[in-house]
Structure 1
């Protein structure tokens, strides 16, 4: 059985400020951003912190008016996909905190604290969106999707197993596996859901929701990049885990994840006008290739090294440091709303 990691001490001045290892090492707990074991982590800190936003900044007035006019399949998909996203983002706050508890590098702890805060806001944003457009019973029903929908339960089985294994038996091996699934979650599992909202937006529907999703999407891209680099650094420090067996395990998880995401997209998007399911399948494989490269591994879908879903590029391929309306590709001014999500303006 792998040696279990111990929670890192909060403050231990006999240890050096610069950590001796990401996990299982020594560090005083004093964080000096100018003296890091991995100096480029500071760049991640700055990039991730620059993305601060709040759900309540997005005006949902028009979405509240448009939601009743969506087709029945669009309304059902909307509620199920919000339920999926909440199921995935909720545990991410906890996962980031748990990784932080066991890391002996204070810069990782700091970055994970910011990621945990952003994931918490993502989860809040789903409740904010639903409270803007539908009744309380429908909101609660959407949040029950992750507990009751059989397709979603099957889709999430391995995520649950890997995350809970790390929670119960924290080790270098289980934290590596958890980082792999965090990368899958942030770089692949969200994307058929994101595509649904972007597809509504390109038809001038539910633009407020799409704007919110674009902010979440941008955050997740940065989280995924950091997790990829963290994974590679942990493997470099612990080369005994960099084996053919473990690489094959990672590839197997990606193949399984692509299969599950494809099945989910067919299930939830099958009746949605404007989304080609074969194109969606290719896009999922393209996303898998991108996340494998971030982890330092090879692409496994040679037919999808380029994005086959050309229309979505305007929403996800051109993120920069500004908050942007991806219809008009220009900086947008926030319309800040009241605590009633704009209902006072109806």
Structure 2
């Protein structure tokens, strides 16, 4: 068994002497040949199928009306729009890389496949933000929005621990740093995006920027599945490495969730203050509700007992919902969107 502080090497592509069924997620043995009918963790097949079922691309979403509406938004709404896009781009860009880095060191080929699928979708999310901005504003403002992750003091402070944990894993890949990186991945997928998502859904319920909101709902739906998949992989890896399953590590998770909730609430008050239709106290409750939900997925207890129910009931009309045990939205009809192309899109404006 690999020690939790032992460096993990990039896994070779093929080792025919090893069994096809991986012996462990990290530090195990596997040939590199992926047989979905013979997995150490059979439900990983279902995880990949659920993620793959939601394939979409940004340029299929029609933003024609958004292009006309953006100049009519209030100055405060336009500013928040650009800041929120900046946040989402800052977080989604590294998600492609972190999924690829996890794929590089896992000895389970089914996990490699899941992470490759997640990395591809995260790349499309990042592209979608550029697609939206290029549709509604100038290149100067587009670039300024993407620069926020390096220049905005509130956003930089908010992201300090993300940078620390992700870079520690990139520089020193061990089972411990991989587990911690996955904890922060669940935070990104299940908590950090959500005040930003709420901003776009609030615009949509006022019949503003509905195309962007529709695109965001597809991103949101992906992130829910990514969070579920990474949580399941985390729990399986932790079970394979019981020496890491300590009181100290559990408290580290709780402390980082509490810190992240504080940072997300501070960010939401910074970027959403003065936005008509957004109740900042309700937003803070929603962030705590999301934290409880993601902790349950990790197999841990809730830390905000007063927020076991979603305090922002209106948001459920804009995002597919799922709970901790099943993916309800696969039983529902997806939100409809109009596809566009070079022939029927912006050339008509």
Q: TM-score range by the shorter chain?
A: over 0.9
Partner of 1:142: 145
- Partner residue of 1:21 out of 10, 24, 28: 24
Query: What is the 5 A alignment of 1:286-325?
Result: 286-318=289-321, 320-321=329-330, 324-325=334-335
Query: What stretches of structure 2 of length at least 5 have no aligned partner?
Result: 322-327
CA deviation string 1:154-182 (max 9, x = no partner): 00000000000000000000000000000
Tell me if 1:188 matches 2:198: no
Partner of 1:225: 228
Structure 1 vs Structure 2 CA RMSD:
1.3
Partner of 2:283: 280
Deviation at 1:333, TM superposition (A): 5.1
Decide whether the 8 Å contact of 2:182 with 2:234 is kept in 1. Answer: yes
Q: Using the TM superposition, name which of 308-317 and 2-11 deviates more.
A: 308-317
Deviation at 1:320, TM superposition (A): 2.1
Tell me if 1:177 matches 2:186: no
Deviation at 1:316, TM superposition (A): 2.6
Distance 2:272 2:113 in 1: 38
Query: What is the 5 A alignment of 1:1-346?
Result: 2-318=5-321, 320-321=329-330, 324-325=334-335, 332=336, 334-338=338-342, 342-346=345-349
Q: 1:62 to 1:323 in 2, by over 3 A?
A: farther
Deviation at 1:342, TM superposition (A): 2.8
Query: What stretches of structure 1 of length at least 5 have no aligned partner?
Result: 326-331
Q: 1:220 to 1:67 in 2, by over 3 A?
A: same
Query: Secondary structure, in 3 states, of the residue corresponding to 1:303?
Result: coil
Where do 4+ consecutive residues of structure 1 move more than 6 Å?
none
Decide whether the 8 Å contact of 1:89 with 1:120 is kept in 2. Answer: yes
Q: How many residues align?
A: 339
Deviation at 1:214, TM superposition (A): 0.3
Distance 1:169 1:44 in 2: 28
Distance 1:281 1:74 in 2: 20
Decide whether the 8 Å contact of 1:58 with 1:337 is kept in 2. Answer: no
Deviation at 1:112, TM superposition (A): 0.6
Decide whether the 8 Å contact of 1:215 with 1:323 is kept in 2. Answer: no
Partner of 1:328: none
Deviation at 1:9, TM superposition (A): 1.2
Decide whether the 8 Å contact of 2:62 with 2:337 is kept in 1. Answer: no
Distance 1:148 1:343 in 2: 32
Distance 2:181 2:341 in 1: 38
Deviation at 1:334, TM superposition (A): 2.5
Give me the TM-score of the superposition, normalised by structure 1.
Answer: 0.96
Give me the TM-score of the superposition, normalised by structure 2.
Answer: 0.95
Deviation at 1:317, TM superposition (A): 4.6
Q: 1:190 to 1:323 in 2, by over 3 A?
A: farther
Query: Secondary structure, in 3 states, of the residue corresponding to 1:95?
Result: helix
Deviation at 1:335, TM superposition (A): 2.8
CA deviation string 1:120-147 (max 9, x = no partner): 0000000000001001101001000111
Distance 1:68 1:117 in 2: 32
Distance 1:334 1:211 in 2: 10
Deviation at 1:336, TM superposition (A): 1.7
Query: Secondary structure, in 3 states, of the residue corresponding to 2:329?
Result: coil
Decide whether the 8 Å contact of 1:17 with 1:32 is kept in 2. Answer: yes
Deviation at 1:2, TM superposition (A): 1.3
